[in-house]
Amino acid sequence: MSFSVKRTAEGPGWRRVYWRLPILVAVLLVVVVHRAGLSGTLGQSLWRQTPMAGVVADLIAVAGLIVMLWARKTLGANWSSEVVLKQNHELIERGPYAYVRHPIYTGVILMALGTMILFARLSGFVAWVIFVFGFWLKAREEERLLAKHFPEAYPTYKARVKAVIPFVL
Q: Which domains does the chain have, with CATH numbers?
A: 18-78+89-160 (1.20.120.1630)
pTM for the complete prediction? 0.82
Please state, in angstroms and as integers, the Cα–Cα distance from residue 100 to each residue in 21, 50, 88, 124, 140, following that order: 24, 32, 22, 25, 14
For the chain, 169 residues long, give each residue's pLDDT as a single digit of tens: 555 555 655 565 555 666 777 788 877 877 777 666 655 666 677 788 899 999 999 999 999 999 999 999 999 888 887 888 888 889 999 999 999 999 999 999 999 999 999 988 888 888 899 989 989 988 998 899 899 999 999 999 999 999 888 867 6
In sign, the C-alpha dihedral spanning 79, 82, 88, 93 is: positive
